[in-house]
A and B are shown apart, each in its own frame.
Chain A
Amino acid sequence: MKYKGKLFRASKEATGDLNAKVGKIPQQLKSLFVLFLVLISLFFLLRHFFTPDTFGKYGHYRAAAIDSIMSQPLRYAGAQLCMECHDDIYALKIESYHRDVSCEGCHGPAIAHTEDPSEFVPPAPRERGYCPLCHEYNPSRPTGFPQIDLTSHNPPKPCIDCHDPHDPKPPHTPEQCSACHAEIYRTKAVSHHAPLLCTRCHEAPEAHKDQPRMHLPSKPTSRTFCGECHAMEADSPKDIPRIMMSDHGIGYVCWQCHYPHYPEVR
């Protein structure tokens, strides 16, 4: 009964005087409550002061950082800008082998020059050492890219004595396939096929040397082509190794097993 009475009183108080209800919360909890409130406010205050202004505008980062990164000055102007004043050179280059080689790839970053041509004039790489960055023979370069052997290609003259850097047409069209297929040429040169000319196996139109991708040479298409020299009954020099065309590597073309530019047998 006593218990019931107490309960009843509590509910009455709850609906009635709030203060009285608060008074019912134990003393130690009230002190803790205060402490928590203070700590939480402190947290928000500190967070407010330590979070940069624009943090969280777009995501979990300082939005202002984007602006400071974007404000970085440009150094490379881009070929379009050079055209405005050097339209003659631009027109020459855009039709040449160097059409995709950017002006500033050779002359260095030049935005300062475009703003005031008298203040800063970009240097020109006139020395022999520069062009080989792109043109010295290197087996890792893709086949068809024009490469030279630096030690034998007209030393020690600077390249620009004979080639206009803005229209680098060779003084005469390169005769040798090795000009652009140096790796294949060198590989073949130390193989059993060294004595064979490229043109024995590839019919290369003259225009291939001018516009290589527009006029591609032919490639052997059948087993009988190799058989012209290697078949048992072939009418070719006696020292050429022979195979039985009818049972040697049946079902494949020869170059699926033998690299034609370096034909190894094992």
Chain B
Amino acid sequence: MKKDKKELTRREFLKKCAVSAPAVLLLAEAESIFAKNSPELSDHKEAHYFGMGIQIDKCIGCGRCVNACKLENSVPDEPFYFRTWVERYVVQVDNEVIVESPHGGGEGFPSNISEKGIARTFFVPKLCNHCANPPCVQVCPVGATFSTQDGVVLVDEDYCIGCRYCIQACPYGARYLNPFTKTADKCTFCYHRIKKGSNPACVEVCPTKARIFGEISLRSSPLTRFFRFNKVQVLKPYLNTEPRVYYANLDGEVR
């Protein structure tokens, strides 16, 4: 009898476990389903697919874009944090290439450049390329950086743990660690603006329309005109990152 009773309790215990474990799971899941529905999330399902075009031979290197980006997005003022910046390339006749970007180009460029013969020289605005295959998203250990359905790569500031993997992984050097929030930061295509129908701040202030923003596959988009009239290139195509920032008249020396 004693033995029987003992067997029974174990059986009982097992039964209880077998029943309660799924019950807990179910409860948990049920709760999370409710929880997921509760916060007011706006619908992000509209079919956007954003991209930017940059016409190198129109850029005058005034740095208004760098300046506007910093003001619009509260990018730290120190000279080495940028969401967008402008580089000057000087290709000399002996094929030496000089690249510089004092203060990201935000205060313009000195006009006195080297005395040696210049073969060609031009400005190259740069920013996050919002790749379709973003290496930075792949390496994020917590899912704090991600591609939205409209093709923009964003950083979840509240969820980022500041491990810097993504900064290392970006082949374009487009990310930096924000010294105040201690999280990764980079260009968002001014997500808060474009979803309200405005242009990104850099596009807004560009005086020569060197930057063009719009939908990639819409027939009636400024980008479509850009694609029709220009031969476009992306940066580092051999990495297969599939950038969404397209350059017209890009020089082979540009890295």
Contact = CB atoms under 8 A, between A and B. Distances in A.
B29 to A, nearest CB: 8
Contact of A104 (B13, B29, B39, B205): B205
Nearest to B71: A109
Contacts of B169: none
B205 A66 contact: no
Q: Which of A52, A63, A138 has the most CB of B within 10 A?
A: A138
B220 interface: no
Nearest to B156: A65
B212 to A, nearest CB: 12
A54 to B, nearest CB: 6
B182 interface: no
A75 to B, nearest CB: 5
A141 B209 contact: no
A53 B57 CA distance: 47
A136 B109 CA distance: 10
Interface residues of B, number: 72
Q: Which of A41, A55, A66, A108 has the most CB of B within 10 A?
A: A66
B123 interface: yes
A71 B40 CA distance: 13
Given A19-B11, A140-B109, A70 B28 contact: no
Contacts of A255: none
A63 B59 CA distance: 37
A119 interface: no
Contacts of A76: 68, 71-72, 193, 198, 201, 204-205
Contact of B39 (A30, A53, A79, A105): A53
Given A30-B14, A57-B41, A140 B122 contact: yes
A38 B192 contact: no
B60 A142 contact: yes
B113 interface: yes
A136 B68 CA distance: 20
B118 interface: yes
B31 interface: yes
Contacts of B18: 37
Contacts of B148: 58, 66
Interface stretch (B139-147, B170-178, B234-242): B139-147
A74 B204 CA distance: 12
Interface string A94-116: 00001011101100110000000
Contacts, number: 176
A100 B205 CA distance: 9
Nearest to B188: A69
A85 interface: no
For the side of the interface on A, what is the size category?
Answer: 35 or more
B109 A138 contact: yes
Interface in B9-26: 10-11, 13-14, 17-18, 21, 24-25
B4 to A, nearest CB: 12
A172 interface: no
Interface string A123-143: 000000000111011111110
A132 B123 CA distance: 17
A69 B192 contact: yes
A45 B39 contact: no
B36 A54 contact: yes
A72 interface: yes
B36 A57 contact: yes
Contacts of B118: 139
A64 B207 contact: no
A223 interface: no
Given A34-B13, A133-B107, 20 more contacts: A48-B31, A53-B38, A57-B36, A57-B41, A61-B143, A63-B41, A66-B191, A69-B157, A70-B42, A70-B192, A76-B71, A78-B199, A78-B204, A100-B209, A109-B68, A132-B108, A133-B64, A136-B108, A139-B121, A140-B89
Interface of B: 7, 10-11, 13-14, 17-18, 21, 24-25, 28-29, 31-32, 35-36, 38-39, 41-42, 44, 57-64, 68, 71-73, 88-90, 107-109, 111, 113, 118, 121-123, 143-149, 154, 156-159, 188, 191-193, 195-196, 198-199, 201, 204-209
